[in-house]
Each structure stands twice: as structure tokens, then as C-alpha cells.
């Protein structure tokens, strides 16, 4: 940032999505923004639910704001976890607080809730949607969906273990041998791989399936067994770092092939989500009926419709003797570390925008082009414009399409992309089949 340029203020409001306990910026990362020339303004108690106190922010050099309105009024750049369409409950109120020339950086769900993007554009604000970060190596450290998916996969297993009326490991006791629990993980992206690793640590017998045969080696490296289904004949089953979306006939055959293993499983964890679309149905009600009494199904795609036909989003229900957990936003249930990883991702992203001068002007950088949704009063992202039925923009259209084609952001899975819940951050361009750079070694796997 030029010494002659006025100091930009980064504002961090308290999250307003119901049950959201994360915060977009943690105290440990304030110094990096200060060093880059930003001032930091944090709403009072913004980090309390995640375990970060106001005194920690002020000690790190941030200023405190007494209200949400003050943050939005003074900030040049607003950092949030869930905004716009990703916060359908209260996001509209914040849109009304945005003003001309302001920049919003957050998870926004622009493909499924594109109308929110038009509203932001009408306010004259610039929006960068973090779930649209391209699947390229140099963007790994900015991939919020990947870091959050890893935490979600970890918590899904712990939640299943807590609700299961049996222990996970095999145990030799004076009363005899206790058999290990049987887990079946649908999807081997970041969330799925972390779920596999965590279930193995608990001593369970783990099976996994993914539409991409290439992930078999990774699954097996974690000690799990890979279910091979002869359903994809030609390609590797992925596109742009995500598993491809298949047709209805594929899903039908897939369900038939998985029914026997699901019926033998004590825990089933599903992770398949498709950005901007309803999650594919992987487990039907008839399949649930065949599961053992007292078994548990964790549906990580509940917020986007669910991979189980009878999941109730946001609810934990018992149907046909099976506990079906439709808890949404699992990373928010581990807010301390999920905030820590999110904050690291978003600060890295903001500093990248600063280096590219993308906060104030257009840039041809692939990461900027891929995540930029609104600027100068209009929706500029090619994919979002397509959802809205808007004509393609002639300027930079080719570059925009190139940088966004790899999003289809959590987030790879059993049959499609693990996006919001399961989007990986990789060592290579095959983002879905490798670990995030915040992950532990392969033996323990992802984050």
C-alpha cells in the first residue's frame, strides 16, 4: 500500500447467521494486516463465541466498535464468515449497510442465491466470494472451504460416535471381545478423508466410496477399505478439482450398488454437495430401513437439501430406528479452530488482493477474476451472470470463464463436488483428492 494512499480500514462484524459461532478474523492475524498498512475495526464481542476476547483484539492492535452499524459505516473492507446468500436469515440487513466503494469478502453462496449479488451490486459495493477460489496450487492457502470441510469431517465422526449406542474400537475385555463399529464414508474429498482418518483413530472399521477411482490409494493409505463400483468407464470422474455431477441413472445404479454395505454399517457419513444446486440423493428411505437398529447417519449436505432422502435440515431425528443427523454448519460447532483456519485463509486472500491492487481496480489475476462477483454497480462474474440470465460481459469474459470453471467451493464427494461441506485444498491441481496444507501427515490426514 502506498504511503500516500489513505489507510484502509478492515471491519469485522459479529456473525449473525443463527448458530454461527465463528469469527472472520482472530487476534493472532491482526498484526499481519497492521503490517500491511490496514487499520482493523472489530465489533465488540465479535469473537467471544469462538473463544476470542475483546482484550485480545485490542492487545493485537485492533480498535473496537460499539455496534454493527459503526463497523459497516467506517470499514473500507468488511470481512465476514457468512454473508449475502450464505446468510439468508440476516444477510439482507447487512446488504442495506453496504455503501458505494466498499469491499465485502466472505462466503456468499452466489450461485444458489444470485439475487443477493444483484442487491449488493446495486449498493455499489465490490464482492469477493471465497467459495469461488480457483482450484489452483497458489490459491491453496486461501481455500476457506477446504479448511472448513476438514474440520466438518472431523466433527461429523465425533458426533456420530456420541450418538451411537456402541463403542467404536474393538476391545478385549474380561467379558469377551467387543466388535468394532463399522463406518461407511460417502465421498473422499477433504471432509471425507478427514472423517476416514478420525474414524480410524477411534478404532472403527472404515469403508469409503467416491465416484473418482483415483482416490482409492488415498483412502487405503488411511487404513480404510475402498468400495469399487464399475459405474464410471471413461474419465477419472472429476472436473476442475471436483467430482463430476452425474445423471439420474448413474445415481440410481450407485444407490443399488451401495445398499448392501449401507445395510451393514453402524455409521454412514455423506458429504456430497454441488455448488448452486440441490445435493444428490445417495441414501433413500428404503436404504435407511435396512440399516441396523440404533445406527447413525450424518448428512453433511443437509443445508443444501441432504444426501439422505429423509434428512431434516437442522434437525436430529430418529426414523426407522436410525438417528439421522441433519446438523448444518458443523465447522461452527468447533469455532475456535475453525475461526483460526478461516482467518488465516481470508487474511492471505486480502493481502493477495492488495498485492494485485485488486481492491481498487480490475486485475487479470486468475484468483481475483475467479472470486470477484460484483464491482462498479454490476454483477461481473460470468457464472453468476449466467444463473441470473444476464448476457455475458464482453470485457475480460474469457479470463473470467477460465478462472471460474474450476469451482464446480467444500466443496468433492461421493458423486459430485464436496463444496460447502467438502472442498479440498491441495498440493496439486487435483484439489479433491489431496489434503489441505493445514492437514497433518497422511497417517492422520487432513486438517
Tell me whether residue 209 is one of the annotated catalytic residues. Answer: no
Q: Which of 232-241, 306-315, 329-338, 376-385 has the lowest mean pLDDT?
A: 232-241
Other beta carbons less than 10 A from residue 69's beta carbon: 12
Tell me: pLDDT of 368 over 70.
yes
Per-domain residue ranges for the chain? Answer: 9-143+334-407, 150-333
Other beta carbons less than 10 A from residue 32's beta carbon: 17
For 79-111, write each residue's pLDDT tens digit.
999 999 999 888 889 999 999 999 999 999 999
State whether the Cα torsion 113-277-18-418 is positive or negative.
negative
Strand order in the sheet with 63-65: 63-65, 39-43, 9-12, 77-82, 103-107, 126-129, 372-375, 378-379
Residue 40's beta-bridge partner residues?
10
Question: Do the Cβ atoms of 244 and 235 come closer than 8 Å?
Answer: yes
For 10-22, write each residue's pLDDT tens digit.
999 999 999 999 9
Phi, psi of 361 (to 5 degrees): -150, 165
Tell me whether residue 146 is one of the annotated catalytic residues. Answer: yes
Q: Active site residue: 102, 113, 141, 146, which one?
A: 146
CA atoms within 13 A on the CB side of 262: 25
Domains 9-143+334-407 and 150-333 in one fold:
yes
Phi, psi of 78 (to 5 degrees): -105, 125
Question: Which CATH architecture is the domain 150-333 placed in?
Answer: 3-Layer(aba) Sandwich (3.40)
**CB-based burial, 296-321: b 16+ in 10 Å, e otherwise:** bbbbbbbbbbbbbbbbeeeeeeeeee
Q: Active site residue: 135, 255, 383, 385, which one?
A: 135
* Structure confidence at residue 275 as a pLDDT band (50, 70, 90): confident
Q: Active site residue: 154, 209, 242, 251, which one?
A: 242
Cα–Cα distance for residue pair 384/97, rounded to 1 Å: 22
Tell me whether residue 52 is one of the annotated catalytic residues. Answer: no
322-325 and 316-319: which strand pairing? antiparallel
Confirm or reject CATH 2.30.42.10 for domain 9-143+334-407, answering yes or no: no
Kindly report the three-state secondary structure assignment for every residue of 202-233: CCCEEEEECCCHHHHHHHHHCCCEECCCCCCC
Cα–Cα distance for residue pair 131/373, rounded to 1 Å: 11
Residue 105's beta-bridge partner residues?
79, 128
Tell me: pLDDT of 137 over 80.
yes
Mean pLDDT of 12-39: 97
Tell me: pLDDT of 241 over 70.
no
Cα–Cα distance for residue pair 160/384, rounded to 1 Å: 36
Radius of gyration of the chain (CA): 22
Question: Do the Cβ atoms of 418 and 190 come closer than 8 Å?
Answer: yes
How far is CA 302 from its chain centroid? 13
Question: Do the Cβ atoms of 363 and 356 come closer than 8 Å?
Answer: yes
Tell me: pLDDT of 239 over 50.
no
Tell me whether residue 143 is one of the annotated catalytic residues. Answer: yes
Tell me whether residue 21 is one of the annotated catalytic residues. Answer: no
Q: Active site residue: 80, 102, 113, 140, which one?
A: 140
* Structure confidence at residue 78 as a pLDDT band (50, 70, 90): very high
Residues of the chain with pLDDT > 70, as a percent, come to 83
238-239 and 205-209: which strand pairing? unpaired
Q: Which of 246, 240, 197, 266 is nearest to 414 (CA)?
A: 246
Q: Active site residue: 76, 94, 109, 143, which one?
A: 143
Residue 205's beta-bridge partner residues?
182
**According to the model, what pLDDT value does residue 311 have?**
98
**According to the model, what pLDDT value does residue 256 have?**
80
Nearest-10 crossing angle of helices 335-355, 144-163:
170
pTM comes to: 0.85
Kindly report the three-state secondary structure assignment for every residue of the chain: CCCCCCCCEEEECCCCCCCCCCCCCCHHHHHHHHHCCCEEEEECCCCHHHCCCHHHHHHHCCEEECCHHHHHHHCCEEEEEECHHHHCCCHHHHHCCCCCCCEEEEECCCCCCHHHHHHHHHCCCEEEEHHHCCCCHHHHHHCHHHHHHHHHHHHHHHHHHHHCCCCCCCEEECCEEECCCEEEEECCCHHHHHHHHHHHHCCCEEEEECCCHHHHHHHHHCCCEECCCCCCCCCCCEECCEECCCCHHHHHHHHHHHHHHHHCCCEEEECCCCCCCCCCCCECHHHHHCCCCCCEEEECCHHHCCCECCCCCCCEEEECCEEEECCCCHHHHCHHHHHHHHHHHHHHHHHHHHHCCCCCCCCCCHHHHHHEEEECCEECCHHHHHHHCCCCCCCCHHHHHHHHCCCCCCCCCCCCCCCCCCCCCCCCCCHHHCCCCCCCCCCCCCC
Mean pLDDT of 247-270: 87
Amino acid at each position: 500500500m502506498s504511503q500516500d494512499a489513505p489507510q484502509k480500514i478492515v471491519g469485522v462484524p459479529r456473525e449473525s447467521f443463527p448458530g454461527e459461532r465463528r469469527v472472520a478474523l482472530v487476534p493472532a492475524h491482526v498484526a499481519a494486516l497492521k503490517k500491511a498498512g490496514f487499520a482493523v475495526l472489530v465489533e465488540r464481542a465479535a469473537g467471544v463465541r469462538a473463544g476470542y476476547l475483546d482484550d485480545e483484539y485490542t492487545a493485537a492492535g485492533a480498535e473496537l466498535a460499539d455496534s454493527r452499524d459503526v463497523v459497516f459505516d467506517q470499514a473500507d473492507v468488511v470481512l465476514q464468515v457468512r454473508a449475502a446468500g450464505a446468510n439468508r436469515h440476516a444477510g439482507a440487513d447487512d446488504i442495506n449497510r453496504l455503501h458505494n466503494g466498499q469491499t465485502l469478502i466472505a462466503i456468499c453462496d452466489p450461485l444458489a442465491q444470485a439475487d443477493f449479488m444483484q442487491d449488493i451490486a446495486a449498493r455499489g459495493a465490490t464482492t469477493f466470494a471465497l467459495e469461488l477460489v480457483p482450484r489452483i496450487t497458489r490459491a491453496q492457502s486461501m481455500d476457506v472451504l477446504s479448511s472448513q470441510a476438514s474440520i466438518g469431517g472431523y466433527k461429523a465422526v465425533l458426533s456420530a460416535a456420541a450418538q451411537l449406542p456402541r463403542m467404536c474400537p474393538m476391545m478385549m475385555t474380561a467379558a469377551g471381545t467387543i466388535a468394532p463399529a463399522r463406518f461407511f464414508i460417502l465421498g473422499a474429498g477433504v471432509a471425507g478423508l478427514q472423517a476416514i482418518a478420525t474414524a480410524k483413530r477411534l478404532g472403527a472399521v472404515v469403508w469409503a466410496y467416491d465416484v473418482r477411482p483415483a482416490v482409492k490409494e488415498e483412502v487405503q493409505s488411511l487404513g480404510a477399505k475402498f468400495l469399487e463400483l464399475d459405474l464410471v468407464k471413461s474419465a477419472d470422474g472429476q472436473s476442475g478439482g471436483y467430482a463430476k455431477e452425474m445423471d439420474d441413472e448413474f445415481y440410481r445404479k450407485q444407490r443399488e450398488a451401495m445398499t448392501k454395505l449401507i445395510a451393514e454399517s453402524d455409521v454412514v457419513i455423506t458429504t456430497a454437495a454441488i455448488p448452486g444446486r440441490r445435493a444428490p440423493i445417495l441414501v433413500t428411505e428404503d436404504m435407511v430401513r435396512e440399516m441396523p437398529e440404533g445406527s447413525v447417519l450424518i448428512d453433511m449436505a443437509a443445508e443444501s437439501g441432504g444426501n439422505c432422502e429423509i434428512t431434516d435440515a437442522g434437525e436430529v431425528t430418529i426414523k426407522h430406528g436410525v438417528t439421522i443427523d441433519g446438523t448444518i454448519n458443523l465447522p461452527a460447532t468447533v469455532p475456535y479452530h475453525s475461526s483460526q483456519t478461516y482467518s488465516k485463509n481470508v487474511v492471505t486472500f486480502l493481502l493477495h488482493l492488495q498485492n494485485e491492487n485488486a481492491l481498487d481496480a480490475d486485475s487479470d489475476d486468475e484468483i481475483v477474476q475467479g472470486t470477484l462477483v460484483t464491482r462498479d454497480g454490476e454483477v461481473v462474474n460470468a457464472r453468476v451472470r449466467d444463473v441470473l440470465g444476464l448476457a455475458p460481459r464482453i470485457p475480460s469474459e474469457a479470463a473470467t470463464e477460465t478462472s471460474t470453471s474450476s469451482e464446480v467451493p467444500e466443496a468433492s464427494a461421493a458423486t459430485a463436488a464436496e463444496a460447502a461441506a467438502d472442498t479440498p485444498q491441495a498440493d496439486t491441481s487435483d484439489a479433491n483428492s489431496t489434503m489441505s496444507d493445514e492437514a497433518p501427515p497422511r497417517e492422520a490426514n487432513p486438517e
